[in-house]
A and B are shown apart, each in its own frame.
Chain A
């Protein structure tokens, strides 16, 4: 065999080997340097992120009474890849589930992921957990993830406190903080103070092997973050007052809002019918929520900030103040009333002494008087047209917090309605309306919509003689007293504070006037406390008139301002005034005087749920 051929073969063999090795190196280059996908898979492969759920902050009332706390709950998790044969009968017996639901649960978990653990059974009770824990080693693949559930020791203020629920896909998409199975505040305080209450989740990163067994912490915990506990919140609520209000409003529709005028702190916020906040917790939440949602009385609806009612006669106070500020009426101005205002369609009135000055017109709630005042405001000769006059009026009204959100620290507050010129131009036609056409505004009817909160806020502004603080429901977050600077700003009304004295006097007389003097709310009087109040009987398209009452007390240095609506209950003096008065008495005196127990009982016993009920 010629030598050169062997030499060639030597090089060919070496060449083949070199070629194969070059191919290997090229492939290694692609795999290790170019292609990023394997690096990503690697981190998912071995790192397990274990979330540490911090306890959600507790909620107290203004006196340190616990309103919301956490109860331990246990989610039973399953990791399908770690499952092996187990005694399914025993398993089902412990958990109280059927074999079918076990099979379905396992199938669902496998569908979600074969490797990632998912929730098999939510919120098993502590008792079940205790039994299960003993035997958990028999059920490989299952483990328990502790969670917390909200509990309400006083079962009160459900609307205000709100509830907590599991995050949905939209939330997870918009806020990367939340992950499947996390909880967040969905309504009320829980929602508006979500970030403070929830704290911050921590995450511990562990290295796991292929069997999902933890092998130790990753990088000595360098990338772990510790969970930050949720902050406790002290609410402005007075739990006793709130509870008492809820009792008084039981079997009635409507709302009560009480505010401390000097601070704007909400003392009570009742929306009736209410619900037991414990219903909206845990596994039963969905079912209970559906039941509550189906209730025709709408217990989930927070009337205090979401219902729009006409203010009725209570609005006369505002019109009087505007009239005084505009100078078209003086405290001494008198109008006579013969049972109604007889221009245009006219407005009826009830029997009372006549003629009356401003203070006594408030005392007796004379419709005629305020028709005159309202028309004088709008048709003021100082202004060239009704539009200017109306704009002036609207500006004053809005300065009392009507027609706009007050910006309370609760979600879903409505802004209310104060009609605009353009609304009337559309409704009638431009130039087709006058002060006479919209005369119902003078007595708080017509195109006005106010929330009970706005009414309470107006009352607080009167009690303060000209200003209010934005109402709020939280006093302290953690140990931090200054919650939000917006609650520290005085909002002055556009009416000079000197005029308020007359109205306060009128409201004093309305409650504390001599018998037979025409006082509309004598039932609201409390021995030893000067209550100032104004009744209202709000006509509405839904049925009988709403019974309305706004009041504050004491007259000097007021401690509480309150607005009460009882839907379709008739005269303000019959239902709303006693309820407001009883609440004031409860708040200021802690107990109801023996001579008023009958009144309290009457309120507690009353059932006013039928909208078409006869006026009493």
Chain B
């Protein structure tokens, strides 16, 4: 094993290059977002663009520090780093400063940091260390529980800090698990659940139940090809429902729709199980399970949405789905954000010529909604370039991850890609009305020391691991 003696050796320059471009673009947009003629010096540290220069400088120092470390350090101390971050999260929760309703900051003299940002790379390291262990099998119950513990502990703590957005980021690790052998059905299932979630909110539960039943029958026909039995079973269940309905109407029982829909299902399921048992068709058990999960999920979505979610979350989701709208109330952010981006047009209004973002129409314009400035001033051309750069970075990271010989580095690489992907997609998505507004920053772009440093450390640990990969 030959040790590299320079921190520059083996550095993946394309990634560094894209990183630098993005950071510079981010700074330029922060400058544009708070630009006003009174403060023209870029070194004006009373302004955010001035401060961001300080953060960038610090980020470069951090990157150098990360590169200067021995690459084994990250593997050896992964769990230690993770534990330290969990402690920080708890500290923030107990003694932290509250900003914008989230108790997620730790004040240390003049500097305020957000542990939730740094918990991401720590979790990625811990996960990579766990999954790279010799003989690790992902489908083992113990493995799954450990994975769940590692990812959900920080997520839960962040959730308690009232920072839903940052907590949701941890769901991105599902891509890492998928890459490391988790069945692809988990993605399909998750996709289906998301769809079901939206459908339950847009339509009412009875409609969803009917659709679920129809889908189950179609799957049954699709898998088993037993048309006649499918029709018989379907007709039977529908028939029972109709009989109950007729009885209710005729006898004035005033039964609720639960009876017409759930009773036939309750009668149908044992029949299906018996049918499966007799014909020795194992997939029917799965179909029954699928139906039951769907029904259960539908009811829980309804319950969670109306009883557990905050009103502002409900409103944001409703706004996104077009169920309710109030462009001057809680829909204000998204509406203003869309106006800013939309008004940019194809070529944009020109750098520093944006009017929407400059005059505070867009909230959080230099942090979570920094993409509005890009959209307004650089137009469709600019947004496409930025989005493409991000995609390029992600694909580059995947390439870097795939070329690792050590699974620790590879898994960590996928962790980096997943976290960045979630941040970018959700952040951009929420500014253009594709995703509910959850406050998470746009990597390298958004104003703020914590997020810039955290993403820099996240990325450069991978680059360090990559630079010393066994060639």
Contacts and interface: CB of A to CB of B under 8 A. Distances in A.
A17 B395 CA distance: 9
B346 A45 contact: no
A28 B391 contact: no
Given A14-B398, A32-B379, A114-B328, A39 B361 contact: no
Contact of B355 (A6, A13, A27, A42): A42
Contact of A24 (B175, B343, B417, B432): B432
Given A18-B391, A32-B346, A39-B345, A6 B429 contact: no
B342 A35 contact: yes
A366 B360 CA distance: 89
Interface in B185-206: 187
A21 B391 contact: yes
A45 B402 CA distance: 49
Nearest to A38: B342
Interface in B150-206: 175, 178-179, 181, 184, 187
A358 B428 CA distance: 101
Contact of A28 (B187, B328, B341): B341
B104 interface: no
A10 interface: yes
Interface string A23-62: 1110111011101011101110111000000000000000
A1 interface: yes
Interface stretch (B235-243, B250-258, B382-390): B382-390
Nearest to A1: B181
B147 interface: no
Given A20-B425, A21-B390, A207-B359, A32 B181 contact: no
A18 B424 CA distance: 12
Contacts of B361: 45-46, 209-210
B360 A42 contact: no
Given A9-B179, A29-B380, A42 B356 contact: yes
A21 B359 contact: no
A37 B327 CA distance: 14
Contacts of B88: none
Interface residues of B, number: 46
Interface in A408-448: none
A12 interface: yes
B179 A10 contact: yes
A590 to B, nearest CB: 66
Contact of B345 (A6, A10, A33): A33
B395 A6 contact: no
Given A9-B179, A13-B179, A14-B395, A28 B355 contact: no
Contacts of B343: 38-39, 41-43
Contacts of B414: 13
A28 B380 contact: yes
A349 interface: no
Nearest to A6: B179
B7 interface: no
Interface of B is mostly: helix
A10 B402 contact: yes
Contacts of B433: 27, 31
B359 A46 contact: yes
B96 interface: no
B339 interface: yes
B387 A25 contact: yes
B421 interface: yes
Contacts of B338: 31, 38
A41 B332 CA distance: 13
Contact of B383 (A23, A32, A46): A32
A13 B339 contact: no
B375 interface: yes
A281 interface: no
B361 to A, nearest CB: 5
A350 interface: no
Contacts of B402: 10
A388 interface: no
A567 B342 CA distance: 71
Interface string B299-320: 0000000000000000000000
A208 interface: yes
Given A10-B402, A18-B391, A38 B341 contact: yes
B344 interface: yes
A380 to B, nearest CB: 82
Contacts of A37: 342
Contacts of B395: 14, 17-18
Contacts of A85: none
Contacts of A611: none
Contacts of B391: 17-18, 21
A14 to B, nearest CB: 6
Contacts of A216: 37
Nearest to A8: B184
Contacts of A38: 338-339, 341-343
B340 interface: yes
Contact of B380 (A9, A33, A41, A43): A33
A215 interface: yes
A211 interface: yes
B387 A28 contact: yes
A28 B345 contact: no
B269 interface: no
A105 B375 CA distance: 41
Given A10-B402, A12-B184, A14-B395, A21 B342 contact: no
A539 to B, nearest CB: 71
A17 B394 contact: yes
Contacts of B184: 9, 12
Contacts of A211: 360
A15 to B, nearest CB: 10
A32 B179 CA distance: 36
A27 B345 contact: no
Interface string B345-385: 11000000001100111000000000000010001100110
B246 interface: no
Given A28-B387, A45-B361, A17 B342 contact: no
B211 interface: no
B408 to A, nearest CB: 16
Given A32-B342, A32-B379, A41-B339, A207 B387 contact: no
Contacts of B379: 32
A603 B421 CA distance: 99
Contact of A45 (B339, B390, B394): B339
Nearest to A5: B181
B434 interface: yes
21 contacts: A1-B181, A13-B175, A14-B394, A14-B395, A17-B391, A27-B434, A29-B380, A31-B338, A31-B433, A32-B341, A32-B342, A32-B375, A38-B338, A38-B339, A41-B339, A42-B342, A114-B328, A209-B361, A210-B360, A210-B361, A216-B37
Given A20-B421, A32-B380, A210-B359, 15 more contacts: A13-B417, A16-B175, A17-B391, A17-B425, A28-B384, A31-B433, A33-B346, A33-B380, A37-B342, A38-B338, A38-B339, A38-B341, A41-B342, A46-B361, A207-B359
Q: Which 10 A-B pairs have the closest CB atoms?
A: A38-B342, A42-B343, A209-B359, A32-B380, A46-B355, A21-B391, A209-B360, A41-B339, A31-B342, A210-B360
